Amino acid sequence: MSGLSPLPAAIGDRQPDPVSTEAVRRLDARAGGDALRRAVELALRAPSVQNSQPWRWRIHLGSVELHADDSRHRSAGDPDRRDLVISCGAALHHLRVALAGTGWGCRVTRLPDPDDPAHLATVQVVAGLPDRAAALLQPMIDRRRTDRRRFGTRPVRRALLDTLVTCAAAEGAGLRPFTCSVALARLEAALTEAAIRPRHVIGAPDELTMWPDPGSTPFDDPPPGHRPVGGRPIDGAPPGKDPGAGSGCLLVLTTPADAVADRLTAGEAASAVLLTATGLGLASTLLSQALARAPHRTPDGPPAQSQVVVRVGWPADGASRLPATPRRLLESVLLPG
């Protein structure tokens, strides 16, 4: 953290006020200049479906707009744009974390323009203290990786899963650990099925070669040792048994409803869960394949909209640190101010 002292909020204010232009300039200078740009740059490290990075940003003095980039929508694998919006939600949470880590409070207005559905959020720098919990997650942004490898054998304690459940709840989402073996088997079967199916979807192969941005690989080639969870068995594992599962846990992230705002919430919660898991030393992956086609209801418990699956576990003994996947350059995702 930068150690910036927060601007005092006006006494009696219920909502912190956006800070004045002059105050933003002062704060920015103390943060070394370009603080909002650097925060957006960190937000670009957010996970996104097939590393599509379907976002655009507009930076003003004291605020940042997040827009969906529909040109990067992978329509065959994500027909209803669920994964696109979840990815943008993850980037929004990353931005909140980056700002908090800089010592800045912020206020988020989600879907601010009813006439512009692509405008997903505006984040304003506000007076007052930054979110301390979010600030603590900032170093995790650079450490987090999607880890599709086999996990170690050490089980993840229930208390740690509860921590993840709590941090999803703080974002307004549910997180349901799959402990029931029947439900787990059903989910694993759905993941396996879904990992095979995209090959048969018309249009999918072309999309895998889209967007040859210089300096980035939109659909990253998995590094050696990686494979999509639920894909073909490796190492001679018996068919139907996912060798990547190890002792890891699958948790389903849910929201009360399924509007765009709920999907944005799901992305923010997913980011919070992944960064928290990273802070706990856990390896993690997001999985959407199964949920893209399975009925969007959890198999037990109260009705809730399933959004994405989170897989967490302890890295296997001796597992190396994974390289970071590439990202588009900041300049190529900025909208004119």
Binding site for ligand FMN (CB under 6 A): 47-51, 83, 86-87, 90, 145-146, 148, 220, 228-229, 285-289, 308, 325
Q: Please say which residue, 229 or 245, places its beta carbon nearer to ligand FMN.
A: 229
Residue 87: HSE in the Cβ half-sphere, 13 Å Cα cutoff? 26
Q: What DSSP letter does each residue of 69-89 carry, written as one string?
A: -GGG--TTT-TTSHHHHHHHH
d(CA 62, CA 24): 6
Kindly give the residue spans of alpha helices, DSSP state H, lying in 281-323.
289-293
| Least distance from ligand FMN to the Cβ atom of residue 223, Å | 10
d(CA 36, CA 27): 11
Cβ-based burial of 33 (10 A; exposed 0-12, middle 13-18, buried ≥19): exposed
Using DSSP's 3-state secondary structure scheme, residue 276 falls into helix
| Least distance from ligand FMN to the Cβ atom of residue 311, Å | 9
Q: Please say which residue, 28 or 171, places its beta carbon nearer to ligand FMN.
A: 171
Beta bridge partners of 122: 65, 109
Q: Please say which residue, 48 or 124, places its beta carbon nearer to ligand FMN.
A: 48
Q: Please say which residue, 102 or 192, places its beta carbon nearer to ligand FMN.
A: 192
Is-contact 261 110, C-beta < 8 A? yes
Kindly give the residue spans of alpha helices, DSSP state H, lying in the chain.
21-30, 35-43, 82-101, 132-143, 158-170, 181-196, 204-207, 260-279, 289-293, 330-333
d(CA 95, CA 256): 24
203-207: list long-range contacts, CB under 8 Å, 24+ apart.
203/75, 203/76, 204/76, 204/77, 207/74, 207/75, 207/76, 207/77
| Least distance from ligand FMN to the Cβ atom of residue 289, Å | 4
| Least distance from ligand FMN to the Cβ atom of residue 324, Å | 7
| Least distance from ligand FMN to the Cβ atom of residue 288, Å | 4
| Least distance from ligand FMN to the Cβ atom of residue 162, Å | 23
| Least distance from ligand FMN to the Cβ atom of residue 255, Å | 13
Q: Please say which residue, 28 or 147, places its beta carbon nearer to ligand FMN.
A: 147
Q: Give the CB-nearest residue to ligand FMN.
A: 47
Q: Please say which residue, 3 or 224, places its beta carbon nearer to ligand FMN.
A: 224
Q: Please say which residue, 49 or 126, places its beta carbon nearer to ligand FMN.
A: 49
Give every strand in the sheet of 283-287, ordered side by side: 174-177, 249-255, 305-313, 283-287
Q: Please say which residue, 83 or 171, places its beta carbon nearer to ligand FMN.
A: 83
| Least distance from ligand FMN to the Cβ atom of residue 52, Å | 8
Is-contact 54 328, C-beta < 8 A? no
Using DSSP's 3-state secondary structure scheme, residue 308 falls into strand
